[in-house]
Every structure is written in structure tokens, then in C-alpha cells.
Structure 1
Amino acid sequence: MTVFTSAYFTMNEQEAIEYAKTRLDFFAPDAELECREIGDGNLNYVFKLIDHKNNKSLIIKQAGPVARISDEFKLSPDRNRIEFEILERQNKLAPGFVPKVYHYDPIMNCTAMEDLSDHMIMRTALMQHRKFPLFADHISTFLVNTLLLTSDVVMGHKEKKALVQKFTNPELCEISEDLVFTEPFYNCPRNEVFEGTRAYAEQEIWSDPKLQLETVKLKFEFMSNAQSLLHGDLHTGSIFIKEDSTKIIDPEFAFYGPAGYDIGNVLANLIFAYVNAKYTIADEDLRADQEAYLQNTIEDIVDLFKDKFMKAWDEKATEQTARYDGFKEYYLDTVLRDTAAVAGLELCRRIIGLASVKDVTSIEDPNSRAAAEKICLAAGKMFIMDRESFKTGADFAGALKSCEKRF
């Protein structure tokens, strides 16, 4: 029998079955378990266990000491503890929007959680050009509840500072600092650039000192602004979805940072879905319909977030000075400014940085892919450089449309 209580090791599928039987009180004694390792992300191992006899299933997520994407990234397995505790907290802040967690093991660095196999990964669903009319409402509620309610506006300041300390996440923050804020904005050897886009990147991104200045300002704000408890990697690959349900997963990058970081990541990844639809849907009417849905979703997320944020502030704010006239509006403007900036950073880094997205790389025609990437880079640069001017959903969607017309 394998020993799971003395030292960490990376499990295989059979060991995950044994772990579930001996360490988890989830499956019945007569369970007939099958296990598959289904992780397709950059960092972790994900085991799906199914009890065919009793029709129950479970996910075990294990964090290793290095990233799956590259051995260059040495990581503390403590990120698994952070993920477990964040999911517990988010379940209280935004009930129903994250998977249930059942068990955390600090020796094996793994978490047992709800199986969401009846949902789809949102990136995959959007690449199949599906629509989710409730998503904007769901994600805006999640964002308001997890961002505003973990800020100094609502929390006691000592309690909030204790959480800042608890969720300090230096290894994964360093990955973001490098891959999001630094490497995409110069000709870094680690960047992965499509040949049809390279000349544009060299001219418009790497050779623009004004853009580089703005990115370093944003990097230092990211490192020093402990505003809200972030998910930290909130893209469409971190969202499970079906028509009536949205579940946010993988918060292992969580830490205290600028609230706009999470919102901007969501918007940028909807733009990736938009260019995918533009260049992969052959039927003109179907293409226009999907583009309109995504554009409306971007607008709705921003506008619903603003409305819910203002209402939650009025209902939940505990800091006396947060009630001064005009401060609520000022604070929201700073969140929207950071939202635009991060949307821009994400658009650029996924196109010319190390970690690309399938929405774009799956576009088969090289000219179409280059055009899609240039739209993303142009919009990204606009969001970064003009970030103070984005106040409404229409502002974000309008910027995308204006960049689309250029290519």
C-alpha cells in the first residue's frame, strides 16, 4: 500500500484511486473507481475519479514543484493551500459560482473538489460558437462580491491586512510580473510570436518607449496595490459554464492586488473569442450573430459591474470616509482604468508572450490569424495607453470595433 502521509510525490492515476480510497471520506466502501488524469493547463495535475457503481465523481487537483509548461518555473506547492482557502472564501462571498471543496492535504499538496463535468470549459464552448446569455450577469455578480467585499471599503482594516499576509503568493505573482508585464513588451527570447505578426509587434510594441513606460507603471502598481483579493488568472479557460450556471475555477494565482486585474482578464478573453468567431465562422449571418453576442457581453459585463458595484457599496461599505461625496465614483473610475489596462496587457501577452490561447492559434489561415492578432495587439495598446478614457461598456466595445476596421 502506498503511503501518503510521510512525503510528497506526484501521483499517477492508480495512486490517485488508492489515495481516494484511503484518505478521503467521499466514495462508498464498495466503490468501483476509474481514474483519468485530465489536466491540460500549464501548472498542475488533475485527476477525475468516477465511481461507476454508485454514480459519484470527484476531482483531485495536485500541485507539483515545477510547472507543467516548463521546468524553468519552480513553484511552491503552497499554491494548492491558497486555492483551497480561496475557494472556501469565494463560496461564502459568491455562493454557487465556484466548485465545492471537500479536502486539502498539505503533505500531498492536493485538493479534492466537486466534479463539474456537466459544464464545459468556456474557452472551448466559445470556440464552438455557443452563447451563454446569463454569463454577464453571473460574472459581474462574482466580480463585485469577490473584489469589493474583500477591500478596505467593506472589511475591517486589520482583518484585511491579515488576509494580505495570508495570501501573499510570491512565486505565482512573479510569473505574472514576468509573463504579463515584462516579457511581451520587448523581444524576449522566451516569447512565442507568429511569423505573420512579428513585424507588427516589432514596430508597434517593442519599439515604442511610451508604451514601455506605461507598462512599467502598471507593473509597479500591480506589485504594490493590495486593493482586493483577486482570482489572479481569470480567463475563459478558468471558467466552467453551461446555459444556467457559471463556475470559476483555478484561483491558485490569488493574492491581494488591483481589482481591475480580474475584470480586465475576462474582457480580453472575450475579445479572443470575438476574433476567433470573425475568422473561423464562414456563414456571414452566423458570424455577425456571434460577434454581436460577444460585443454585447463585453458591454454588459462592464455596465452590470458598475451598477452592482455602486449598489453593493451603498449597502456594504463600513469605512466611514468611504461615504464622503464623490469618493465612490472616484474609486470606481480607478477600477475601470485598471480594467482597461489589464485587458490591454492580456491581449498583448497572449499574442506575443509565452502562453498563447487556442482561440487565436487555432485560426488556420495564416493571413486571417495575423489579422486577428494585429486586432488584439492594436486594441491592447489602445487600452493601455488610453486607459483613463474607458468608463462604459460601449467604450470597451467601441475600441475593439475601431481596431477591427484597421485590418
Structure 2
Amino acid sequence: MTDFNSYFLMNADEVIQYVKSKTGFFDGSNNLKCAEIGDGNLNYVFRVIDEESGKSVIVKQAGDTARISDEFKLSTNRIRIESNVLKLEGELAPGLVPEVYLFDNVMNCCVMEDLSDHTILRTALMEERIFPKLADDLTTFMVNTLLLTSDVVMEHKEKKALVQDYINPELCEISEDLVYSEPFTDHNNRNDLFPANKEWIEQNIYGDDALRFEAAKLKFAFMTNAQALVHGDLHSGSVFVKEDSTKVIDPEFAFYGPMGYDVGNVVANLMFAWSRAYVTKADEKYLSWLEETIRDTVDLFAEKFFASWKRNVTEIMAKEPGFDRWYLDTVLKDTASVTGMEMVRRIAGLAKVKDLTTISDEQQRVKAERLCLTAAKQFILNAANFKTGDEFLRVLKDSALSHNVQ
């Protein structure tokens, strides 16, 4: 039996030994079963359950390469970042993240709350399930974790110390490449285009000089704007849901960046769900709920942002009349830009979303991809124009009707 005093990638049997050795969670039970359940691009995720009591935990371990491709060499430090960020987010947004029981910097893993009674949001949306609390929960999470980790609220030296602590160069580089560079240039020849849309994408995305110029500016804003501690990968695969609960997971991409990066990712992934529902002629009640959720994600974020600002602002110059409105407008502009960038990269880049790739009818998928990309270009090229949920949603719906997606 290993003593777990030096790093190696564990298998399921070794994970059982690990939780027995490192935690008292199962009270010495010998009825433990373990399965590898991860389907993400980076890490190894195991579920350990005591079949007698039903108690269970998740063990997440970081390898030194990404599972999506051995080309991505990664520091295992990301699991430290994820563990610490989850603990901080649990303080700032109670009940909206899983509890962390243990972080181990030797084995580069963490043991955390099992959310098996929840469903991954992307899966639930593809099943056309409705979650009335979703927009409320996600906007509370974003306002609390973003505004409260910014210079507007935090003592400045304390905030700068967190910037240093959450430097995350390897994972930021993945975003810089997969979100801000390759979907507009394909310079690494890794993009995976749907054949029926390949020519259209080459003409309308790769061939759009103005779009690529905006993408270049946005890349450098992403790299240099240390505004708040962002989740960094807040898509519908990073949220667990059930009827009365929302839990945000997987903040291994966390770093100090622009607030709009998180908000835009949420909006874009709701738009993927809407696009799938629209082209496949989903139930009208579900489609209407998605539209309401997209609107509320923007509008509730703004409403809660102002309320939190009034309660929590400490920076003296941030109390100048009108500064809160100006500041939020910059966040909403970034939100629109990132909404567009996420929509482009999930279609014209390497990492796809199942919302679109599992549309079985070729013409429906063509239409879904083109309406997303048509909307994305508006969000990127005219980002300052979008300040309300209705304005975001209108672009999506107009793009669906546009001749460019017929």
C-alpha cells in the first residue's frame, strides 16, 4: 500500500486507499466503491461511495497534461487554485459552490462534496428542463464573487496579494489560444469545423478583418485587466443544478481578469441552449423560459451589482456620483464582447459544446451555428450597445431570422 508521500496519477483502487488514509469521512468502512466519472478536458475525477451508508465524496486530481490533448502541458498548481477559490467563493456566495474537505499539495488533488443528486446544467438544458432559480442563483454568485474581490471593495494591497496568489499562466494561455486567437486565425491548425459550415466560417470569421482586429484588442484586455477574481470557465458544463439548488464547480481557470469574462460565458452558453431549442423546435414553454433566463442574467446582474455597490464600496473615488453606472457599463461591454468570443470559439475553434454538436439534422445544425456566429459578430463589433437583457436577446432572435442563417 502506498503512503501517498510522492505524486502519481491514481487509479480507482488507489483513490479508495487515499480517502481511507487521508480522511475520516467514511469512518473506517470497508464497503467503498470508486469509479472515474470525469468527462472534462483537464482533470481526473473520481466518486467514492460507501454502499452501506450511501455517503460519498468526489476526489479530483490534476495531471501534468490536459486530457483534451497532450500538447497542453500544465502545472498541477491549478488544483491548489481551484481548492482555494472554492473555499473563498463559499464564503462570498454561501451555498452556491461545493464544500471542500481536503486539499493535498503532494498528490495534487482535493476531496470535496459529491453533487451526484444534481445534474450538469448543459445536460439538463439539452433535456429541456426548467430551473426557476437559475438566473437568480448565478447572478448572486457572480456579483458576490466578482465585485467583492475587486479594488472597489477590497483594500488595495490585499487585492494585489490575491492577484499574485492566483497567477495562473498555463490555463490563461489555453484561454488566450482557444478563445482569443485560434478561432479567428487557425494558425495552429487545430480548429475542428463542421464540414457543412467550413466555407461559411472561413469567409465570415477568418475572412473578416474588422472582427479579427476586435479579437486582437480583446485578447490584450483579457491578459491585462486584473479587475476581479473570475471563475475563468463559467459555462453550462461548470454548473450543477437541481430544482432548488445551483452549484458552480471547476474554477481551475480562475485568475484576476475582467468581470465580464464570467458574465459573458454564462450568457453565451444560455444562447447555445436557446439556439438548439430554436432550430429543433423545442417546447414553447421551455424556449420562453430560456429567453427569460437570458434577459434576467443580464438585468439581475446589473440590479444586484448596484445594490452590492451601495453596501460594500470602500474606495473613496468609486463613491463619486455616476461612477457606479460608468463602471457597470464597462462590465456590460466586456460581457457582450465575451459573449461573442465564446460563441465563436465553440463553433470555429477546437473545444465544442454538445448543445450544437449533437444536433443530428445537418441543416438544423448549420442554422444553429450560423445564427450563433451572426449574433456573435454583433456582440464583438458593437459591444458598447448592449446594456439590458432585452438588447442581448434581440440580437440572438434577429440573427435567427437573418438571411445569413437561412
TM-score, normalising length from structure 2?
Answer: 0.98
Residue type of the alignment partner of 1:289: K
Whether 1:264 and 2:260 are equivalent positions in the alignment is no
Q: CA deviation at 1:293?
A: 1.1
**1:274 and 2:274 are equivalent in the alignment:** yes
Q: How far 1:187 sits from its partner (Å)?
A: 3.4
Give secondary structure in 2 for the equivalent of 1:58.
Answer: strand
Which residue number in structure 1 is paired with residue 249 of structure 2?
Answer: 249
Match of 2:397 in 1: 401
Write the distance in 2 (CA, Å) between the matches of 1:106 and 1:198. Answer: 44
Aligned partner of 1:98 in structure 2 is 97
2:203 is aligned with what amino acid?
Q
1:8 and 1:108 in contact (8 A); partners too:
yes
Counterparts of 1:65-76 in structure 2 under 5 Å? 65-76=64-75
Q: Partner amino acid for 1:193?
A: L
Residues 1:376 and 2:372 aligned together: yes
Tell me the amino acid that sits aligned with residue 313 of structure 1. W
CA contact (8 A) 1:31 1:52 kept: no
The equivalent of 1:363 in structure 2 is: 359
Q: Percent identity?
A: 57
Contact 1:31–1:54 (CA under 8 A) maintained in structure 2: no
* Residues 89-128 of structure 1, C-alpha deviations (whole Å, 9 max, x = no match): 0000000000000000111100000000110000000000
Q: Residues 29 and 50 of structure 2 are in contact (CA less than 8 Å); yes or no, is this contact kept in structure 1? A: no
Q: Does 1:77 align with 2:73?
A: no
Separation in 1 of the partners of 2:30 and 2:175? 41
The corresponding residue for 1:391 is 387
Equivalent residue, structure 1, for 2:348: 352
Measure, in 2, the Cα distance between the counterparts of 1:156 and 1:31.
Answer: 49
Contact 1:184 1:349 in 2 (8 A): yes
- Give SS of 1:237's match: coil
Number of the residue aligned with 2:24: 25
Letter in 2 for 1:32: N
CA deviation string 1:381-400 (max 9, x = no partner)? 11000100001000000000
Equivalent residue of 2:47, what SS? strand
Corresponding letter in the other structure for 1:112: V
SS of residue in 1 equivalent to 2:283: helix
The runs of 5 or more residues in structure 1 that have no matched partner are: none
Tell whether the 8 Å contact from 1:279 to 1:363 is kept in structure 2 after alignment.
no
Matches of 1:316 and 1:107 in 2, distance apart?
38
Q: Distance in 1 between matches of 2:240 and 2:184?
A: 31
Partner of 2:107: 108
Q: 1:257-301 CA deviation, whole Å, 9 max, x = no partner?
A: 0000000000000011111112334xxxx5322221111100011
| Residue of structure 2 in register with 1:175 after alignment | 174
TM-score after normalising by structure 1 = 0.98
Question: Which residue of 304, 324, 347 maps to 1:328?
Answer: 324
Gapped regions of structure 2 (runs ≥ 5)? none
Separation in 2 of the partners of 1:94 and 1:123? 22
Residue 289 in 1 paired to residue 288 in 2?
Answer: no
Give the conservation status (yes or no) of the 8 Å contact 1:31–1:53.
no
* 3-state DSSP of counterpart to 1:42: coil
Q: Which amino acid aligns with 1:263?
A: V
Is 1:9 the equivalent of 2:8?
A: yes
> One-letter code of the match for 2:283?
R
- The C-alpha deviation readout for 1:137-174, integer Å capped at 9, x for no partner, is 10010010000000000000000000000000000000
For residue 221 of structure 2, what is the aligned residue in structure 1? 221
Task: Give the counterpart letter for 2:197 in structure 1.
Answer: T
Structure 2 distance, partners of 1:49, 1:125, is 24
- 2 CA distance for matches of 1:155 and 1:334? 19
Q: Distance in 1 between matches of 2:399 and 2:36?
A: 41
What is the match of residue 62 of structure 1?
61
Partner of 2:186: 187
Q: Deviations over 1:172-216 (max 9, x none)?
A: 000000000000002341000001111211111101111111001
Q: Confirm or deny: 8 A CA contact 1:119 1:241 kept in the other structure.
A: yes
Partner of 2:235: 235
User: Which residue is 1:317 aligned to?
Assistant: 313
Q: Could you list the per-position Cα deviations for residues 44-91 of structure 1 after superposition, in whole angstroms to 9, with x for gaps in the alignment? A: 000000001222100000000000000000000000000000000000
Amino acid at match of 1:356: K
- For 1:204, the equivalent position in structure 2 comes to 204
Aligned-partner residue type, residue 200 of structure 1: W
Q: CA deviation at 1:133?
A: 0.8
Residue 139 of structure 1 corresponds to 138
2: CA distance, partners of 1:352 / 1:211: 13
Tell me the secondary structure at the aligned position of residue 103 of structure 1: strand
In the alignment, the residues of structure 2 paired with residue 200 and residue 164 of structure 1 have an alpha-carbon distance, to the nearest angstrom, of 41
Stretch of structure 1 that moved more, 203-212 or 149-158: 203-212
1-structure distance, mates of 2:15, 2:249? 21
